[in-house]
Amino acid sequence: MPDHDRPLPDRHAGSPAPLNDLLIDAEADDEPVSRPSLLRHPLFLLFGLVLVALNLRPALSSISPLLGEVSASLHLSAAAAGLLTTLPVLCLGLFAPFAPRLARRFGAERVILGILLLLAFGIVLRSLFAVPGLFAGSLLAGASIGIIGVLLPGIVKRDFPKQAGSMTGVYTMALCLGAATAAGSTVPLRDAFGSWSLALGFWALPPLLAALVWLPQARRGHAVAHVAYRVSGLWRDPLAWQVTLYMGLQSSLAYIVFGWLPSILIDRGLTPVQAGLMLSASVLVQLITALSTPWLATRGRDQRPAVVVVMGLTLCGLLCCLYAPLSGLWLWIVILGLGQGGTFSLGLALIVLRSRDAHVAASLSGMAQGVGYTLAALGPLAMGLVHDFTGNWSASGIIFVAIALVGTLFGLGAGRALYVRASAERL
């Protein structure tokens, strides 16, 4: 029986490493050289990692509560506003493949330091230089986040190998907290500064602070012995594509929420402050299922039931936010957060669970992020185009249903207890 069609072995009888031990490593082809100073300051390294992770979502979530005001101020159509929400997400996918190459050439720590500075520059450019700066800065911000997002998990695995599971939880929490903080506080910052551009520009300060704290890591660096591996067969494997398309479609719903949920709620009668707080609350709720779903999903025979549950919660929350009475909005926000926290963490888990080893997992991760995030960018763009064509958000429910159903279909394929038909060999 081919490997692809053979069910996974019992996890207690020669099964592959558990989920926590196969954290996706952006530098999976590098073997660390033992050095006494490697973890000389582990708490300081942890603090730096958390600060860096906190900066991977504010550039995306800070603009959505002010999108209507920004569009009116700069005379953007809904389609142009949709492109503005799409561009950073598109760059997440397009620039992710460059991260390992940059890390090989300059070292992951130095690349992260440089990209943090580029992220801060992109946010300033987006905030202060009208329409050209708005789009150019969004492009730089998305590219920066895409590169850092690939490199951080590899550093976590390398420098905290015995705490990979707990450190992944800390990393996920930092992502959610960064997104929630930016979504909830950008409008109050606008009120305090009296300018939407200064409120958006404020978010250039956190990456500068993170760069300052990260500087000792970049100066010290880590010695690695390069060992080349080749992964073959992945891009021809149907299961790998099912994982990738599930990852992309659930990400599309996530970035629709980041980009458009506040605008939808404002049009339904909420103030910008209230809409920003709703987005913030939804992201914070994601922490619950982001941490619990991968563990629960590995308790059963496969992950197909988990796919149906979390995608169903996401669709229910989105449709209720769009159509249901606002008197139950807090409930709809909680349902949406529970669903999206689960879909995201389950996507990461599927990358690992469908791979035989860390090298295949690293390649599958690159495929899922590169193709998946590029696909995800179409969701926010479609929302803007539909709103521009119809003049309201009512037809958006069709987009929600279509993405969720197709995502569930691919998720059911990806959730089967099989391995991708790919192999890694040392060169």
pLDDT tens for 78-108 read 778 878 888 888 888 888 888 878 887 888 8
332 Cβ contact list (under 8 Å, min separation 6): 317, 320, 321, 324
DSSP letter assigned to residue 419: -
pTM as predicted? 0.81
| Pairing of the two strands 224-226 and 423-426 | unpaired
Domain 3-426 has CATH 1.20.1250.20: yes
Question: Quick check: 36 pLDDT over 70?
Answer: no
Q: What confidence score (pLDDT) does residue 317 get?
A: 97
161 Cβ contact list (under 8 Å, min separation 6): none
Question: Quick check: 55 pLDDT over 50?
Answer: yes
Q: What confidence score (pLDDT) does residue 144 get?
A: 94
CA atoms lying within 13 Å on the CB side of residue 294: 25
Q: What confidence score (pLDDT) does residue 221 get?
A: 54
Q: What confidence score (pLDDT) does residue 11 get?
A: 40
Q: What confidence score (pLDDT) does residue 229 get?
A: 62
What is the Cα Rg of the chain in Å? 21
pLDDT in tens, 253-274: 998 998 899 999 999 999 998 9
Question: Quick check: 131 pLDDT over 80?
Answer: yes
Question: Quick check: 395 pLDDT over 90?
Answer: yes
Tell me how far apart the alpha carbons of residues 346 and 338 are, in angstroms, rounded to a whole number: 12
Cβ–Cβ under 8 Å, residues 40 and 378:
no
CA atoms lying within 13 Å on the CB side of residue 122: 25
Tell me how far apart the alpha carbons of residues 59 and 252 are, in angstroms, rounded to a whole number: 17
Tell me how far apart the alpha carbons of residues 378 and 255 are, in angstroms, rounded to a whole number: 10
